[in-house]
Amino acid sequence: MTRTGILAGGNFIIDHVKLIDAWPEQDMLTFIRSETSSNGGGPYNVLKDLAAMRVDYPLEAVGLVGKDANGDWMLRDCRGAGINTTQLHQTDAAPTSYTDAMTVSSTGRRTFFHQLGTNAILGEAHFDFSRTHAKIFHLGYLMLLSEMDRLLPDGRSIASRVLEAAQAAGLLTSVDLVSADHAHFRQITEASLPFTDYLIVNEIEAGKVMERDLKSTLPGLDAIQEAALFLLEKGVRREVIIHFEAGAVVAEKNGAVHHQPSLRLPKGFIAGATGAGDAFAAGYLHGTHEDWPVSERLKLAICTAAACLTHPTPSQGLRPVAECLNLAEELGFSAVK
């Protein structure tokens, strides 16, 4: 059987994105200038991004939503985008998960208030890899899936068991984390790494696994490369991909290391940063699915992340693959130090 397509599972969330004047101090007021509702959560964003990029292979969702208005909206939205929802299950055991994303209009920086809802009870039984012909299974976000994050007495996690099952069925696996404080961040991540072909994270998440601050210290390229190699040594089977403000790094199991600077963004380019990391992942996963060289995957990922920044919602800034790549010609690349 020739495998084709991307199956994305984990967090399916309704994002309520609100553009605000400024982040207020405690007990103070700020104004909401506009608000929209859209897709949210790693797998949902990645699938919607790929649909907007007009890829020509199947897109499939696996997750859990509520039997409520938000859950019905999500199913309609996925189907409208051509995403297969056969394994996007509904339950009345919890409400559909949602997030209030507060985005400062002048900077694009955002803060999230999250209702776990159905994502907290998503478990091993909801994944059936015999029902898909997909080539890649993308799972996200660890640290935001309570049952999937549950550590077992043998040191494994439920997520690691799901990833192992995906690999046994013949799929390549990709994993993303969320930038959150969690008492067992390192243990939960490390449990899944031996069953992860591609780990796609930002420098905050990489630092949390290393138990080292890679954000406030403004690390250079060498520090990011060191982090990628560290994560490879912890068990990732093929590649570690770390994206950060100045660009991205990929470390391969064969020892090769690649880096790609970010685009030079003009003033006023950023309308919102919500979903930019997932847009990066969508670009990289597309290149991986199509067997592109790592350098070409990185270039597309940087461009899809930049396209995302042109709209305050996670996916409405995305455009067809060729148009995303055109941003590199229009804007050029910055320098990574």
Q: Superfamily for 6-331?
A: Ribokinase (3.40.1190.20)
**Residue 159 confidence (pLDDT):** 98
Query: How many CB atoms are closer than 10 A to CB 75?
Result: 18
pTM over 0.85: yes
Q: How many CB atoms lie within 10 A of CB 280?
A: 27
- Spatial CA neighbour of 232 closest among 248, 211, 259, 253: 253
Cis peptide leading into residue 141 (ω within 30°):
yes
- Rounded CA-CA distance 332/326 in Å is 10
Alpha carbon distance 286, 5 (integer Å): 9
In this prediction, residue 114 carries a pLDDT of 86
In the chain, domain spans? 6-331
Helices then strands, counting H and E runs in the chain, come out as 9, 13
The confidence score (pLDDT) of residue 219 equals: 58
Whole-number Cα distances in Å, 265 to 108, 112, 274, 310: 13, 24, 16, 10
Tokens representing residue 206 in the block: 């990489």
pLDDT per residue of the chain (337 residues) written in tens, 0 to 9: 899 999 999 999 998 888 999 999 999 999 999 988 899 999 999 999 999 999 999 999 999 999 999 999 999 999 999 999 999 999 999 999 998 889 898 888 878 898 999 999 999 999 999 999 999 999 999 999 999 999 999 999 999 999 999 999 999 999 999 998 999 999 999 999 999 999 999 999 999 999 888 876 555 788 999 999 999 999 999 999 999 999 999 999 999 999 999 999 999 999 888 899 999 999 999 999 999 999 999 999 999 999 999 998 899 999 999 999 999 999 999 875 5
Is the distance from CB of 159 to CB of 149 less than 8 angstroms?
Answer: yes
pLDDT at 36: 82
